[in-house]
Structure 1
């Protein structure tokens, strides 16, 4: 026997969670009792007749008062054989409060300890550099006892440490469990030059001699001379013809060399700029679901740049599918810039010069530039530029001990 009223009970499951009981009734006139409950709009379900004088059903705990009133008018026995729902669950939990609180505290402690920094190891650094990096790490929050998810990710730490240390070629950052590992590669200091044997100085590229400074050896060139690659500049054989002396020729030979550079510039450019406006959000990511915690503003930018940093919680050595997510949303504006041919030429010359500076020796000097070819094609300005550069063209080559005084002025590489 089943009872329905008012169509389907849309929120039946909510009522069950709020608390419901299974009722067992014995006696005569059970149908009249059930009908009275229905007239009082008491919701009952799973009504089952077991025999002529025994019936069971389920009802909400909030309606027990109506049941007690109905029982006064009928000769029946009522027993509650099963209780379910949140109120009864909480009541049972209260009996085990100590155990429950202890379990929660233990889990919380394990999570905290698993996500704490327990050790920091720095390898490959000298004692001075290691001491310096340790102090920098403390400034960045990387120290024993701090929580990992409150600190920058390893890649960000690597970038910051690289900017802070010019005497370091490279620094690697790796997080293994609860230990941060830092691998440092310091810049090599110039080694003391070994004592060199007898040698000549020759030209390493085509040039016009501008100036020279000879420390040892016999110069065989003059200012304004044009030299080719491999040509002798300073001889390492000095002294009398019948008693030659072999020395290690040393000196700096400054020659004017030439570099040709091609460069292209778009006459119409589109570029993006940050406006300075930004929003920061913090949330928890559980699996594929995100729960916002901080920064709940729903302001939208027309164009934006999003940067996210995820730090996963750990349980001992395992990573849990739970992460703290820090998100930065920056407003971006798109701008268009149209250059005249003259403006584009100026920009192209600037770009070409910067590129050239990167490719020539640090002590070289650019002394002249000349545009060899210029044209506009497919919305681009194309330039071919020649640069005059003064640089040291000296190259040392060894002398064979048996070499005679009469040297050729062009020695092969």
Structure 2
């Protein structure tokens, strides 16, 4: 029978009819527009069939003066299922509450494990986690993603070089790498120290080896600074030359800055929408108002629901729409020159090692034409210019 599933929602009744004139009774059902199926004859005076619950009133009219007796054998379908659920509402409510509690408990934070940190650092990390809401008993989808927790901990705790955050089940696992971890000294063979770039020597700290240059000497790339050959002539030995040779080096940075530029900035207006996504079907639960932003950026945060150790195909989604707008930035001439200088300094700092120090700066060229600032700056930098170079057997200095 086609579309029998529709009758499940309306309700299905299994009927037994007994008596004489069963064929006439069946014909009267058809005449009155009553649809029946699964008709089965049991002897000469009994037949069973199924029909829709919505046609029961029509059935009563057919039964009158038919000489047949009707008995209801079975009731199936959604209306009867709902009726049975209401009869057992106490039991069903208990089952529902049990599964809701189990579901909520499966999505709570029940443990925070920290490995690789000493007690003092671990205490600081736990205080920071508590401050950002990562604590036992809190629902996971109200907590930052592991990447956000990682950034917060690394920015707040100076003693931490790196931290890995992973959520396994209901427990957050943090693997910490602290700063100042002692490293095993590298075993080096015989080597010299040579210059890496043009410079004027400003200071020398030689731990081992024979210096070949003095302060105020001008050196070129590849020039020998500290020899790994020590001792008097005829009684020399090769060592690993160690030390720092600080030299004054020179850098040049060129910057072009428009006096007028367009910047894309957020103006503070935002709209948040919350929904549940079951499989690929979204169900809005809060924030139904559509935004009318002309330009905006969308940020989406997703948290999967869990039941015990299994991930459910249900996702809690938070969409944030932030309005942005173009702001025209117009620099005055002197203001633009200062901004260009800061850009030049930032460019140089990106090229230099961390321990390098900028000792001086000079503007070589500064012009404003065609709505742009053209700036060339010269920098004097003190940095370690020494580089180790292995001594090859038989090689002379």
Task: Name the residue aligned to 2:133.
Answer: 141
Which has the higher Rg, Structure 1 or Structure 2?
1
1:369 is aligned to 2:362 = yes
Q: Which residue of structure 2 lines up, in the alignment, with residue 155 of structure 1?
A: 147
1:262–1:383: 8 Å Cα contact kept in structure 2? Answer: yes
Q: Which residue does 1:169 correspond to in 2?
A: 161
Of 285, 301, 311, the residue aligned with 1:309 is 301
Q: How does 1:73-222 map to 2 (within 5 A)?
A: 73-94=65-86, 100-188=92-180, 206-208=198-200
Partner of 1:44: helix, strand, or coil? coil
Alpha-carbon spacing, 1:139–1:338, altered in 2? closer, same or farther (3 Å): closer
Tell me the TM-score normalised to structure 2 length: 0.70
In the superposition, the TM-score normalised over structure 1's length comes to: 0.68
Deviations 1:268-314 (A, max 9, x none): 75542112111122221211111111212122322221111211122
Counterpart Cα distance in 2 of 1:203 and 1:16: 89
Shift of 1:74: 3.5
1:30 aligns with 2:21: no
SS of the aligned residue for 1:146 comes to: coil
Counterparts of 2:122 and 2:46, CA distance in 1:
88
Task: Tell me, yes or no, if the aligned pair for 1:201 and 1:394 is still in contact at 8 Å.
Answer: no
> In structure 2, how many angstroms separate the alpha carbons of the residues matched to 1:156 and 1:100?
40
Aligned CA distance change for structure 1 residues 190 and 259 (closer, same or farther; 3 Å): farther
Deviating more after overlay: 142-151 vs 335-344: 335-344
For residues 91-134 of structure 1, the C-alpha deviation after alignment (integer angstroms, 9 at most, x for no partner) is: 33356556644543443344333323232211111211101111
Instruction: Describe the superposition over 1:224-266 as per-residue Cα deviations: whole angstroms up to 9, x where unpaired.
Output: x755565879xxx9xxxxxxxxxxxxx9997643102344557
Relative distance call for 1:386 and 1:231 in structure 2 (3 A) is farther
Cα-Cα RMSD: 5.0
- How far, CA to CA, are the matches of 1:201 and 1:53 in structure 2? 111
Equivalent residue of 2:35, what SS?
Answer: strand
Is 1:355 the counterpart of 2:347? The answer is yes
Asked if the contact 2:225–2:386 (Cα under 8 Å) also holds between the matched residues in 1, the reply is no
> What secondary structure, in the 3-state scheme, does the structure 1 residue paired with 2:304 have?
strand
Partner of 1:143: helix, strand, or coil?
coil
250, 269, 272: which one aligns with 2:264: 272
1:261 aligns with 2:256: no
Distance in 2 between residues matched to 1:33 and 1:116, nearest whole Å: 63
Q: 1:34 to 1:121 in 2, by over 3 A?
A: closer
Task: Please say if residues 256 and 388 of structure 1, whose CA atoms lie closer than 8 Å, have aligned partners that are also in contact.
Answer: no
The question of whether the paired residues in 2 share the 8 Å contact of 1:266 and 1:381 is answered with: yes
- Alignment of 1:286 with 2:278, yes or no, is yes
Q: How many residues align?
A: 365
Please list the CA deviations of residues 376-412 of structure 1 after superposition, one character each: whole Å capped at 9, or x if unmatched.
9xx9979673423242568699xxxxxxxxxxxxx97
Contact 2:258 2:371 in 1 (8 A): yes
Residue aligning to 2:9? 17
- Give the aligned partner of residue 402 of structure 1: none
Compared CA separation, residues 31 and 226, structure 1 to 2 (3 A)? closer
In 1: Cα distance, 2:16 partner to 2:385 partner: 109
Contact 2:304 2:311 in 1 (8 A): yes
